Amino acid sequence: MQDVQKEEKQTKIVSMFDNIAPTYDTANRVMSMGVDKSWRRKACDLAYEFYAKDSIDRIVDVACGTGDMMDFWKSRSEVAGIAVGEIVGVDPSVGMVDVAREKFPKFNYHISKATEIPLQEKSADFLSITYGIRNVVQRGEALVEFNRVLKDDGLVIILEFMKNENPSLLGRIRDFYMNKILPKVGGFISKNLEAYEYLPNSIGDFSTVENMQNELKDAKFEVLYTKSFSMDISTLIIARKIKV
């Protein structure tokens, strides 16, 4: 029964993203005021530094949405002088991937859940998921799947809005913005208020940074780096697959 409920919840989330796909990029840029670009650049640059290789066979971006993070992987690899063989986007939302394909036809895509990535084991150097892990209902199973797909010593890169159980003054300001302002802005642009009311609710129901780190360790990852940005709005976690 519990598995059925999880499946129904996941299906509802995917349907929601299908509905807002056409306006997703516009809403995202307005709500973040473009600052998410700096977070994405930081994630890519640090991952390349930690990996310390001149060439990379494959980068997989799970919950790739409209493809922005994939483009950051490409552009930042060029800045760093790193050759990347293939960049693959994975997302269960057909609507979001349709937008991504139109924006970035040079990348490869799979319509698939985070728990069922259609790639061979140990075939990816990096696996990223940006603002998508909280939308994965079966998160533990997904982290195990990430481990399967990554090469030994491969990196998982997570950018996410994490739950803060003891917010500072700045954190409370953030929470006010996320709960009161952001849903109205996103709802106005997308004409789908329910979808953008989901965002603060999903953060409130999500993991703390510490719990996320522990879940990664349980899935056989070593956490290398954790940093929160912009009043703790966004948190970056980079972890390495442990050889067994």
The CA distance from 157 to 239, in Å, is 7
Please compute Rg for the chain using Cα positions. 17
Q: In this structure, are residues 146 and 123 in contact, taking their beta carbons and an 8 Å threshold?
A: no
Which residue ranges are tagged as binding site?
Answer: 66, 91
Strand order from edge to edge, sheet including 55-62: 108-111, 83-91, 55-62, 124-130, 150-160, 234-241, 221-229
Residue 234 CA: distances (Å) to CA of 35, 118, 208: 10, 29, 12
Residue 131 CA: distances (Å) to CA of 68, 126, 180: 12, 16, 19
Q: In this structure, are residues 96 and 17 in contact, taking their beta carbons and an 8 Å threshold?
A: yes
Which residue ranges are tagged as binding site for S-adenosyl-L-methionine?
Answer: 66, 91
